[in-house]
């Protein structure tokens, strides 16, 4: 007996919100839900203006994509938009459980594959082993390089970041429950606080996720309350995205160094965190622990997935000395879906359990 069933017509849905057609991917275990169709037009003359418009007028789309019952607390999303930059192949807005990010490295790695496979960039020349995809992120233009064969992606992707720099080192903050804690703050398209998990009484490789979330969130809130974040280019970029707990192994070694990122509203990154790797490379270069083109491996304590990173050249961001960082990883497809919203669904805009 044929087990295939006839596909019924989708149920009635809110006429003001067409069904959202999505492609799901993951990079190092961290999900990415890319909107193919169904999102209303995002209006604005620049990408940052579009980000503000979506936050103010289309936040229900984010909630329907990210929140339960269609998503989950740690879901991540991407809405593709037109870029005002002539060199960009596409623009993107990043969505998470709290709002909208300025940069997402795991998403850039996945979007590189997606853009090539879905025809958003020119077909590579015959025999090409890599295709370039210019992705305009809210933090700026990021170049992704996608391994390919016969015009199709193969999985490995690398990207070159916006200028990454260190905002503060050895910053003393008073963290409730932990006392005085020394943290570093660095930017890799988004700002992160970095602290060795050991300083918070945790073993990054064996600690329970709830304990990691509580400790990292306490650091984030303490830094936000006690230190002002500034970005030389735009106030839209001047916010602390989260805290990355590390194994404290910042000196160069060929062995992977382990970390985990807690960002937004206690969202846990399953990957080693692409923009976090970018910032951590900038931090290690700033401290003289890493040379240009010296590759380090970064392992997620959540999934043991690995990204590699290296500072490829020096740069500037305002008055800050910066570096361009190359981050490499593997992105994978996990499925497609059509997300509908029934007219009478009281939870149509989603919910998150606390």
Q: Report DSSP letters for 197-257, one per residue.
A: GGGGT--TTT--HHHHHHHHHHHHHHHHHH-----SS-GGG-SEEEEEEE-S--S--SSPE
Q: Which residue among the candidates 39, 104, 139, 317 is catalytic per the annotation? A: 104
What is the torsional sign of CA 60, 64, 66, 67?
A: positive
CA atoms of 30 and 24, how far apart (whole Å) = 11
Q: Would you give the DSSP letter of residue 190?
A: S
d(CA 111, CA 25): 9
Give the N- to C-terminal CA distance of the chain in Å, as an integer: 45
Residues 6+ apart with CB under 8 A from 167: 185, 186, 187, 191, 229, 230, 320
User: Does residue 50 contact residue 81 with C-beta atoms inside 8 Å?
Assistant: yes
Sign of CA dihedral 189, 257, 269, 36: positive
Q: Which residue has the tokens 């669904």?
A: 345
Catalytic residue flag (residue 104):
yes
Q: DSSP assignment of 112-144, as one string?
A: HHHHHHTTSSPPPPTT-SEEEEEEEETTEEEEE
Other Cβ atoms closer than 10 A to 259: 27
Q: How far apart are CA 185 and CA 166, in angstroms?
A: 6
Residue 141: both structure tokens together:
């233009």
* Catalytic site positions: 104
């Amino acid at each position: 007996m044929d087990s295939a069933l006839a596909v019924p017509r989708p149920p009635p849905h809110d006429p003001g919100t067409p069904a959202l057609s999505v492609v799901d991917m993951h990079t190092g275990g961290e999900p990415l839900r890319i909107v193919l169709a169904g999102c209303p037009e995002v209006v604005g003359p620049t990408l940052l203006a579009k980000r503000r418009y979506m936050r103010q007028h289309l936040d229900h789309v984010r909630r329907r994509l990210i929140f339960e019952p269609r998503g989950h607390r740690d879901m991540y999303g991407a809405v593709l938009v037109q870029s005002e930059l002539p060199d960009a192949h596409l623009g993107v807005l990043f969505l998470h459980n709290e709002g909208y990010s300025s940069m997402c490295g795991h998403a850039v790695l996945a979007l590189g594959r997606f853009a090539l496979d879905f025809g958003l960039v020119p077909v590579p020349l015959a025999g090409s082993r890599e295709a370039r995809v210019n992705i305009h992120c809210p933090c700026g233009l990021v170049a992704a390089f996608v391994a390919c064969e016969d015009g199709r992606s193969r999985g490995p992707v690398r990207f070159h970041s916006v200028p990454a720099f260190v905002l503060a080192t050895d910053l003393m903050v008073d963290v409730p429950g932990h006392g005085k804690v020394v943290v570093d703050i660095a930017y890799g398209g988004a700002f992160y606080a970095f602290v060795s998990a050991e300083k918070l009484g945790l073993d990054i490789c064996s600690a329970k996720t709830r304990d990691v979330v509580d400790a990292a969130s306490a650091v984030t809130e303490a830094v936000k309350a006690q230190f002002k974040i500034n970005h030389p280019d735009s106030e839209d970029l001047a916010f602390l995205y989260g805290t990355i707990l590390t194994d404290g192994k910042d000196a160069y070694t060929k062995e992977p160094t382990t970390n985990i990122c807690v960002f937004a509203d206690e969202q846990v990154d399953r990957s080693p965190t692409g923009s976090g790797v970018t910032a951590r490379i900038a931090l290690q270069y700033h401290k003289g622990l890493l040379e240009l083109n010296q590759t380090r491996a970064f392992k997620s304590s959540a999934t043991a997935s690995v990204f590699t990173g290296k500072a490829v050249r020096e740069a500037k961001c305002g008055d800050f000395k910066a570096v361009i960082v190359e981050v490499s990883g593997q992105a994978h497809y996990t499925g497609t879906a059509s997300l509908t919203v029934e007219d009478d669904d009281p939870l149509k805009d989603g919910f998150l359990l606390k």
